[in-house]
Each structure stands twice: as structure tokens, then as C-alpha cells.
Amino acid sequence: MKQIFRFIAISLLVLLTASPSAQAAGRKVLAADYSKKRIAIVNEAGKVEWEHPIRQSHDLHLLPTGNILFQTSWREIVEMTPDKKIVWKYDAGKMNGNEGKKVEVHAFQRLDGGLTMIAESGPGRIIEVDKQGRIRREVKLKLDQSNAHSDTRLVRKTRAGTYLVSHENDTCVREYNSEGKVIWEYEIPMFGKEAKRGHGLEAYGNRVYSAIRLPNGNTLIGTGNGHSVLEVTPGKKVVWSIHQNDLEGIQLAWVTTVARLPNGNTVIGNCHAGPENPQIIEVTSEKEVVWSFKDFDLFGNALASSEVLGVNGNVIR
């Protein structure tokens, strides 16, 4: 009889470990994958609560109203209600002088007061627009190697009113004040390694994807194809990091979004890492994995943007 119960217990464990829903259990997420052309909200049980087709995506937000702010392409941003009514739209390819220009959007953010911040690669600027799409503020970006696809990845306006800009092509994070002056800059290190082309586990570089400002004044950085997360002081000292093979049983590839939870844990977007690795990972400060999401049926190998939902307290992302 004991052997029968032991067999049942082991079978249930194997079943739960293999189940995409089980691996998603514990966190509700909003995520987008441009290989599967889908943005979706997935609940704690791994079930889809909401989804919509897209073409491309590098950023997304669930707003306090319950609406979803996301992009359907590199140029179009929409705000959509849960019942899929579009209540706001911005077309970066046609508005505010961009007609006929090369322009892509890889970051946007709804600000306190209702304005929407949009980073425009190509024109090389950050704009804040009102509900009618009119520019209320414009900040020009410093670009050493301008490229309409990779001038910027994620951009976030800080509580201090500055802008943290991840410059993929310039391989650095720059912080701008409201007048557009660079007041802090951090060059993504190569840690003595040689650059390797590609997007997956085999690649290597310093094409940064994200940077957020933590309450302690440090900056948390997702290094893109650097396969790492770095916490950097204002004096540019790395005080905490996770590299490609630091997590047991997991390899990091293109590290995209990073977030710091109220409990001190860090959420990492792990893009282009293949089906052997989770697409989203939550780790403690001691680098212990406490939760991960992996569902290669719903999403694929290009889950570049995600947000953990339903967390009590302020999530820095």
C-alpha cells in the first residue's frame, strides 16, 4: 500500500512540474510575445483571462483603471479596456511631424496627471503627449550611433522627474533632466568577454534593454544580450548582480524587463533563452528562484515584455 501511495505522489509531482499552468502558479502576469503575435493576461493558474493580437511589442502596462496600455506595432500605441474598446491611440508614424520619417517606439509610460511619455527612436526624442496627442514636453536624446530600430529600448521617467534611457545601440544608460541634459551615464561592461553575434544563449554583448531607479538611489539594469542584471550605485559600483549561469538549472539569454518587488525580490524577463528556460523569473536577493513562468504554447521565444500583476505594494518597473 505504501508503494502505491508513493507511486501516486511521484506521478502527481511529475505532472505538476510538466504543466505550464503549474509553472505559472503563484503570479498573475501581463505579457507580450512578438513571435506568437499575442499580448495576454495569464492568471495564477496559468489560464488566459484576456488576450489581443499584436505585431510587435517591447513595452506594456496595466493601468490603475484596469485598462491595458500596449503597442500593436513599432508605431502604434493603444489604450484598451478589458472588453477591448480602444479609448486612446497614438500613431508615431503619422503624428507630430513624423510623417515620412523612420520612427519606432520601444518604450512608453502613462504619467501622473494623464500625459503619456513616448520614446521615439529615429527622431531621437522623448515626448509627453496629452489625450489629443499634442506634445506638452519634448526632450532631445544624445545619440552617438543613431538607429531607428535601436536608439532606445525601455525608458522610464523617475519620481524625481528625470528620464532613464536604455540606449541599445550606444550600449549605455543615460539619465536626462527635464531640459535634456545628461546628468548620469553608465556604460554597460563587457566583463572582459568578447562580443558574439546572435540573440540566444550563445550570443554576448552590452546591448542594454532596461533600467529602473530604486528607492535607495541605485539603478537596476537589464543588460540585454549581456545575460545579466546589475544593480549599480550612483558612483557606478556594481553592488548586486546575476549573470547567465548564476541560477541553478536556468540560463539567462536576452535579459529584458526588470522589476523590484516590495518584498525585495527581483523579476527578470528572460527572452530568446529557448524552451528549456523560463521566460520570466523571480529571485531573492540571495539569488534563490522562488517563482518562474514558462509557457511555450501561449508565448514563444520572443516574450520581451511582461509585468507581474496583483502585487501588494509598489512595484518598481
What pLDDT, in 10s, does the model give residues 67-97?
Answer: 999 999 999 999 999 999 999 999 999 999 9
The residues, ordered by sequence, that sit 6+ positions from 200 with a Cβ below 8 Å of its Cβ are 253, 254, 272, 273, 274
Q: Which residues contact 295 (CB under 8 A, 6 or more apart)?
A: 20, 23, 24, 42, 46, 279
pTM: 0.91
Task: Using alpha carbons, list the distances in angstroms from residue 190 to 8, 35, 158, 196, 206.
Answer: 49, 28, 27, 11, 6
Q: Which residues pair with 40 in a beta bridge?
A: 31, 51
Q: What CATH number belongs to 58-184?
A: 2.130.10.10
pLDDT single digits (tens) 206-250? 999 999 999 999 999 999 999 999 999 999 999 999 999 999 999
pLDDT, one tens digit per residue, over 124-182 is 999 999 999 999 999 999 999 999 999 999 999 999 999 999 999 999 999 999 999 99
pLDDT tops 70 at residue 19: no
CB 206 within 8 A of CB 188: yes
DSSP class of residue 224?
Answer: B
Give me the pLDDT at residue 167, please: 98
Res 143: pLDDT: 98
- Specify the DSSP class assigned to residue 256: E
Residue with cell 518597473: 317
Q: In what helix (H) or strand (E) does residue 41 lie, and over which residues does it extend? A: strand 38-42
Reported residue count of the chain is: 317
Cβ atoms of 206 and 190 within 8 Å: the answer is yes
Q: Which residues contact 220 (CB under 8 A, 6 or more apart)?
A: 211, 212, 214, 229, 230, 231, 232, 258, 260, 266, 316
Q: Which helix (H) or strand (E) holds 121?
A: strand 116-121
Q: What is the bridge-based pairing of β-strands 68-71 and 76-80?
A: antiparallel
Once rounded to an integer, what is the mean pLDDT over residues 188-211?
A: 97
Q: Pick from 280, 313, 317, 299: which is nearest to 27 by CA?
A: 280
